[in-house]
Structures are given as structure tokens and as C-alpha cells.
Amino acid sequence: MTITITAFERSPDGGKGLARDTRVRWALEETGRPYDVRFVSFKAMKEPAHLCVHPFGQIPTYEEGGLCLFETGAIVFHLAENHAGLLPREGDARARAITWMFAALSTIEPPILELQTAMFGEGDKPWTKERLPLVRDRIRQRLGQLSDRLGDSEWLDGAFSAGDLLMVSVLLRTRPSGILDEFPNLAAYVARGEARPAYQRAFAAQLAVNAA
């Protein structure tokens, strides 16, 4: 059955790989699944046809036969569960890899999203200049803890997993602010993720759309 995902017609980052479709493209490439992409404009994203597929009016979504999913984490998990390459088979190792999936999206990403909201959603507010350092410090706190846990390891828990895929993707969003480079082991971890052939294919595919 054909897999169809949705992505931005024009990505807000101009194709630097920070939009969430890159995460799903990467998981598809790691598991060797071909896929089609349906592009959605910002306007169409908030219209009933897309809201049927994604109740929060975002991308990406995932369609395969009669199955229709939203939420990047759930899509990556669905791929990881049904194809080899993204989750260990042994039960305890699998549960720990899934833990890192949730950690990426529920613990590490929220303060990063808060910085984006502070910069773009409240950029014109009188408090923003004074408030931004506080928001950045909350990201640093989490990244410091993650850096301590990762140490010198190649990946978060044994072999590369869907947990690393999501964590690298989330951390990439801290590079423009310079915060990622304050943690050399995390910066090297992200670079290892980016060096994977599957990531390179995913990145190139979304860049090609945005550079066109």
C-alpha cells in the first residue's frame, strides 16, 4: 500500500530540516519505505479537509490504506513498530528506546518550543528582550541533564533507535540559537545523526521542495 505524508508547501525554515515532516521522512528512509508527499499551504492547513486528517491543523500526517495518523511521535512509532531498524527487539531495550522517544517530545522539546513562541509569537512585546534569557536558561537546564546522561556514548541507549531519531531532530532546533554548541557531546551526537545516509536522503528531499 502506498504511504502518503503531508508537508509544508513552503517550510517556514526554508528547508533547513527543522519542520516535522523531516522526522517522518527520516524514519521512512531508515526503514526503507517509499512514500509520496502531499504539500499543504498554511491556508489549507486550517481548512476542514485537512482538519479531518489533523485536528490541530498541522503537518505531518500519514496515510496508508485506511489508516490515517497525525502526531510525529505516533507516526515514527508506527513505522518503528512495523519495520526493522528503529527499535530493539528485546523487550526491556525496546521499552527504554520508547522512553527516549517520549523524553525527546515531552521533556526536551517543550522549552525549545517556548523559545520559538517567545521569539516569533511575542517578538513585538516590550518584555521579550528581558525575558528571552530566562527561556534560554530553561533549555540549557534540560540540555545539561541530557548531556550528563549521554556522556561519551554514541547513542542514548545502545544502538541507534527511534529515540535517537526524535532526540536528534529536536536538538537540531537548538542550533540556530547557539545553545546546542554549548554542549559539545550533544553537538557531536546531533552530527552523528545528520551523517546517517537515511537522514541525508530525508533532508535532501525536503530541501529540494523548498529550494524549488
Binding site for a copy of itself (CB under 8 A): 51, 55-57, 66-67, 69-74, 77-78, 92, 95-96, 98-99, 101-103, 105-107, 109-110, 113-114, 117, 121-122, 125-127, 130-131, 134, 138, 142, 145-146, 148-149
36 vs 124 by CB, closer to a copy of itself? 124
Q: Residue 180 CB, nearest distance to a copy of itself (Å)?
A: 18
Q: Residue 153 CB, nearest distance to a copy of itself (Å)?
A: 12
Q: Residue 57 CB, nearest distance to a copy of itself (Å)?
A: 7
Question: What does the alpha-carbon distance between residue 69 and residue 71 come to, in Å, rounded to a whole number?
Answer: 7
Q: Residue 49 CB, nearest distance to a copy of itself (Å)?
A: 14
Distances (CA, A) of 113 to 105, 135, 180, 209: 10, 10, 15, 24
29 vs 71 by CB, closer to a copy of itself? 71
9 vs 157 by CB, closer to a copy of itself? 157
- Report which DSSP code applies to 199: H
Buried-exposed string 102-118: b where 16+ CB fall within 10 A, e elsewhere:
ebbbeebbebbebbeeb
Q: Are 171 and 186 in contact (CB under 8 A)?
A: yes
Cell of 120: 516569533
Q: Residue 188 CB, nearest distance to a copy of itself (Å)?
A: 18
Q: Residue 124 CB, nearest distance to a copy of itself (Å)?
A: 12
φ and ψ of 171, to 5 deg: -65, -30
33 vs 149 by CB, closer to a copy of itself? 149
68 vs 208 by CB, closer to a copy of itself? 68
Cell of 19: 519542520
Strands, E assignment, 12-56? 36-40
Reference 13, options 212, 207, 208; nearest CA is 207
